[in-house]
Structure 1
């Protein structure tokens, strides 16, 4: 996880022309924000599993 919404949007298949806008919009979505928080916790403590997670790279 690189903490870059624009690059994550590009990796997810969004157009480079729209990636900055899409990345910002996705960060405002509750599900996306929750998944980012789960991934950050997992990265801080990889020995613990944190419930179900979506296959999300943002």
Structure 2
């Protein structure tokens, strides 16, 4: 029958194109927010004083 088409193949193609559109949108959002090249700078300063140990016992004699 001329003029009649099935929608089975088109729905699969629409699913693939929709997935690609979502992927491009996520990548664009991430790149415009500095996602891939944005690095956080962390400055950590840790200091601890060493405990004073007691003197060793003197040898007998």
Is the shorter-chain TM-score for this pair beyond 0.5, marking a shared fold? no
Choose between structure 1 and 2: higher helix proportion.
Answer: 1
TM-score (norm 1): 0.31
- Higher relative CO (Cα under 8 Å, sequence separation at least 6) belongs to 1
Question: Computing the radius of gyration over CA atoms, which structure comes out larger, 1 or 2?
Answer: 2
